[in-house]
């Protein structure tokens, strides 16, 4: 018989151990598939982030913990419940299939930063070991940068840490970071404890909603005394490079954002066509997947009713372990033809460390707080660690931490070497004129404006607008000089960014890329107008309203079919059509040149998925987010934008916040205006010359 376990966390390990105890290898092959070759002891992640233990003390190699089990470090891609097979990547990229007699789905849950705009780009998740290690690096890096910074405002920003969510992991990580940073100030000379700001943002009126009110209150007071600021009844609505935007409209600034809220269902579970409750797999009381005889599910990915109180089991390690143990015993009972038992467990209590050698604990109805609770917390977790070697390692680390200062060394994983993503709200500056060049950015979504101040005027003027697919930053990076323009988000903007070192490496190695970027630099609108001061002078102060062509007689929408769009193009005298979204806002444009792009997009759709090409919808064959300008923009901005994009006309909308179209603007109208003004100027000159003679 073969039992396959998917996952290597608390639930899976207990299942494997207990099944092996009951069934020898001669009777049952047990294979455990886990993405990593170790189990992560999540309750200690905060200690890793706060540098009070080393990362390897909070993980345990599965192979050494489970010597009698076949441990495989592979991601299971799919479970086929009908054919009783799993599919996994065999390491070479090829998919392999394996038959099972019983499968145990114990793949936990994933973190989900996508619930708040900008979190994916700017916040640290706190779920797996990599998150804790990266966070520790980030905290120490921020202290180093604060030490190097001569600007007090920037220094304070480096030393501001924001924790979103004040459940167990939020409280523990805030406590640990606060302790690490404050206890380390004596090794730095450029900042003091007063410069450090650790803020917890929580949507409810109390932290730690799961523990008794008296203990919560104790935790809150102690943490505030330790210097942590609590923003209760407050929600984060967006995250950016500068910090987070709160639901009261205020901006909380900080270089480090840690998001401890938001979980997502594992993709493996999402694929399964089985009964679910809020994404988790519904099981029978004995923990078999509802409707299946040889599939089981335990831990955070399962929805299991606890027979003790008839409530859904909590998603905690305590529950996952008990479920693993009991599901294994139930499988043995089934094999022996005995009756199974429903899952039944009385939770033992709650333990939460709050930093500064303090904790709160509820153990079997007894409430303890302060140093004693902290001591208990450490003792309990020490003995919960899966192996003796890990227990000794963690005990030594903790002993070291009590006597000696925390380790401040960090590997300088230079951000200049990385490809990252960034999120900006309307009005946010992406960079300012004069800032040093840090990154090369490509717009993935949204629209930005290019601004410049000159020696003649300190008021920043909009030079051009850029949208999806456009890029910036290359001029300053290639020329090794500060930015000559500012870039400001007009809408919500998402960017892909390449750090300066990686950019230099790429452009040095790939000549075609360098040439393409160099060409873009020479074409850039800023340069263009600087080289044509007469044209600039003629258009300065002009409005675009008189130059507009009226809106086309007919609008298309995202649902218009390709066939109807072609008919509309044929009927249009100018061949410039506008496509609106559901709210009648500008979404895209269509002209005859776009037909080539559409055909190219259709060509990459596999033939079997294409269906009748003429019936494809515009939303399937066009990308929204085209460049457009507003009525407030000048003809200078319009012509520079057209030049940057190699286009001859632009849609014009009411305003930055009102994307309803008001007309179209053709490049030729701007040229005509220049010619007209030149002719006037010439005539004026001739007139003055005549009058003078």
Binding residues for ligand FAD, per CB under 6 A?
A: 6-12, 33-36, 42-43, 45, 75-76, 106-108, 126-127, 168-169, 266, 268, 299-300, 315-318, 320
**Shortest Å distance, C-beta 135 to ligand FAD:** 11
**Shortest Å distance, C-beta 616 to ligand FAD:** 34
**Shortest Å distance, C-beta 104 to ligand FAD:** 10
Q: Return d(Cα 180, Cα 174) in angstroms, integer.
A: 10
Measured from the CB atom, the residue of 84 and 111 that comes closer to ligand FAD is: 111
DSSP state of 120: H
Token duo for residue 290: 């509802």
Measured from the CB atom, the residue of 159 and 272 that comes closer to ligand FAD is: 272
Measured from the CB atom, the residue of 299 and 475 that comes closer to ligand FAD is: 299
- Among 414, 134, 130, 355, smallest CA distance to 256 is for 134
> Which residues fall within 8 angstroms of residue 117, CB to CB, at 6 or more apart?
237, 238, 239, 423, 492
Q: What are phi and psi of 552, to 5 degrees?
A: -60, 155
**Shortest Å distance, C-beta 376 to ligand FAD:** 13
**Shortest Å distance, C-beta 131 to ligand FAD:** 8
DSSP for 150-195 reads --HHHHHHHTEEEEE--SHHHHHHHHHHHHHHHHHGGG-SS--GGG
Give the Cβ contact number of residue 571 at 10 Å: 12
Q: Return d(Cα 582, Cα 22) in angstroms, integer.
A: 61
Measured from the CB atom, the residue of 107 and 659 that comes closer to ligand FAD is: 107
Measured from the CB atom, the residue of 33 and 440 that comes closer to ligand FAD is: 33
DSSP state of 115: G
Measured from the CB atom, the residue of 34 and 664 that comes closer to ligand FAD is: 34
Token duo for residue 390: 């890990």
Measured from the CB atom, the residue of 107 and 238 that comes closer to ligand FAD is: 107
Q: Return d(Cα 645, Cα 648) in angstroms, integer.
A: 9
Measured from the CB atom, the residue of 111 and 292 that comes closer to ligand FAD is: 111
Measured from the CB atom, the residue of 266 and 340 that comes closer to ligand FAD is: 266
Token duo for residue 18: 């207990």
**Shortest Å distance, C-beta 44 to ligand FAD:** 8
> Which residues fall within 8 angstroms of residue 553, CB to CB, at 6 or more apart?
572
User: SS3 for 8-75, per residue?
Assistant: CCHHHHHHHHHHHHHCCCCCCEEEEEECCCEEECHHHHHHHHCCCCCHHHHEEEHHHHCCCCEEEECC
**Shortest Å distance, C-beta 111 to ligand FAD:** 8
Q: Return d(Cα 670, Cα 683) in angstroms, integer.
A: 20
Measured from the CB atom, the residue of 209 and 667 that comes closer to ligand FAD is: 209
**Shortest Å distance, C-beta 196 to ligand FAD:** 22
Measured from the CB atom, the residue of 365 and 606 that comes closer to ligand FAD is: 365
- Among 521, 550, 551, 528, smallest CA distance to 636 is for 528
**Shortest Å distance, C-beta 280 to ligand FAD:** 10
**Shortest Å distance, C-beta 533 to ligand FAD:** 60
**Shortest Å distance, C-beta 309 to ligand FAD:** 17
The strand ranges marked E within 295-445 are 295-297, 302-303, 305-306, 311-312, 349-355, 358-363, 366-370, 419-424, 429-431, 439-445
């Amino acid at each position: 018989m073969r039992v396959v376990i998917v996952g290597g966390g608390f639930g899976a390990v207990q299942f494997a151990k207990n099944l092996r105890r009951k069934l020898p290898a001669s009777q049952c092959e047990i294979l455990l598939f886990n993405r990593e070759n170790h189990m992560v002891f999540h309750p200690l992640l905060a200690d890793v982030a706060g540098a009070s233990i080393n990362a390897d003390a909070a993980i345990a190699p599965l192979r050494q913990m489970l010597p009698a089990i076949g441990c495989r470090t592979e991601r299971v891609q799919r479970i086929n419940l009908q054919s009783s097979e799993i599919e996994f990547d065999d390491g070479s990229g090829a998919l392999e299939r394996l038959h099972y007699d019983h499968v145990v789905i114990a793949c936990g849950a994933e973190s989900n930063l996508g619930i708040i705009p900008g979190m994916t780009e700017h916040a640290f998740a706190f779920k797996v070991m990599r998150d804790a290690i990266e966070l520790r690096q980030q905290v120490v890096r921020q202290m180093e940068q604060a030490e190097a910074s001569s600007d007090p405002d920037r220094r304070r920003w480096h030393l501001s840490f924001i924790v979103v969510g004040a459940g167990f992991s939020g409280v523990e990580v805030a406590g640990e970071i606060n302790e690490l940073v404050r206890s380390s100030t004596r090794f730095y000379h450029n900042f003091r404890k007063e410069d450090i700001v650790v803020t917890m943002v929580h949507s409810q009126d109390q932290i730690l909603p799961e523990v008794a009110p008296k203990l919560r209150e104790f935790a809150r007071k102690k943490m505030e005394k330790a210097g942590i600021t609590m923003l209760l009844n407050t929600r984060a609505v967006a995250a950016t490079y500068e910090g987070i935007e709160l639901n009261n409209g205020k901006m909380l600034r900080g270089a480090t954002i840690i998001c401890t809220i938001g979980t997502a269902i594992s993709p493996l579970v999402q694929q399964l066509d089985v009964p679910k409750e809020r994404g988790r797999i519904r099981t029978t009381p004995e923990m078999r997947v509802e409707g299946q005889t040889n599939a089981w599910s335990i831990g955070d990915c399962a929805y299991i009713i606890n027979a003790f109180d008839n409530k859904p089991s909590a998603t905690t390690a305590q529950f996952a372990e008990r479920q693993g143990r009991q599901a294994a015993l139930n499988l043995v009972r089934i094999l022996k033809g005995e009756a199974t038992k429903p899952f039944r467990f009385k939770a033992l209590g709650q333990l939460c460390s709050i930093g500064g050698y303090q904790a709160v604990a509820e153990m079997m109805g007894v409430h303890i707080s302060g140093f004693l609770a902290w001591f208990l917390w450490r003792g309990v977790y020490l003995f919960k660690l899966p192996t003796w070697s890990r227990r000794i390692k963690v005990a030594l680390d903790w002993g070291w931490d009590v006597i000696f200062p925390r380790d401040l060394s960090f590997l300088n994983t230079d951000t200049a070497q990385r490809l990252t993503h960034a999120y900006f709200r309307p009005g946010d500056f992406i960079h300012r004129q004069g800032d040093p060049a840090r990154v090369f950015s490509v717009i993935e979504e949204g629209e930005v404006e290019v601004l410049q101040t000159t020696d003649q005027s300190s008021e920043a003027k909009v030079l051009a607008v850029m949208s999806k697919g456009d890029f910036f930053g290359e001029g300053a990076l290639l020329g090794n000089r500060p930015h000559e323009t500012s870039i400001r988000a007009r809408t919500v903007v998402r960017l892909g960014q390449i750090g300066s070192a990686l950019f230099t490496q790429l452009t040095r190695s790939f000549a075609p890329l360098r040439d393409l970027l160099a060409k873009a630099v020479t074409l850039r609108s800023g340069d263009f107008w600087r080289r044509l001061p007469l044209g600039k002078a003629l258009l300065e102060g002009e409005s675009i309203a008189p130059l507009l062509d009226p809106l086309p007689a007919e609008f298309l929408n995202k649902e218009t079919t390709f066939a109807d769009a072609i008919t509309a193009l044929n009927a249009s005298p100018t061949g410039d059509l506008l496509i609106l979204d559901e709210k009648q806002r500008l979404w895209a444009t269509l002209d005859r040149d776009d037909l080539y792009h559409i055909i190219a997009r259709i060509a990459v759709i596999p033939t079997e998925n294409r269906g009748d090409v003429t019936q494809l919808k515009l939303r399937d064959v066009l990308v929204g987010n085209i460049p457009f300008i507003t009525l407030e923009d000048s003809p200078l901005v319009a012509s520079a934008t057209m030049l940057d994009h190699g286009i001859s006309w632009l849609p014009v909308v009411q305003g930055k916040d009102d994307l309803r179209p008001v007309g179209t603007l053709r490049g030729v109208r701007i040229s005509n205006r220049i010619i007209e003004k030149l002719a006037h100027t010439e005539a004026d000159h001739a007139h003055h010359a005549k009058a003078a003679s």
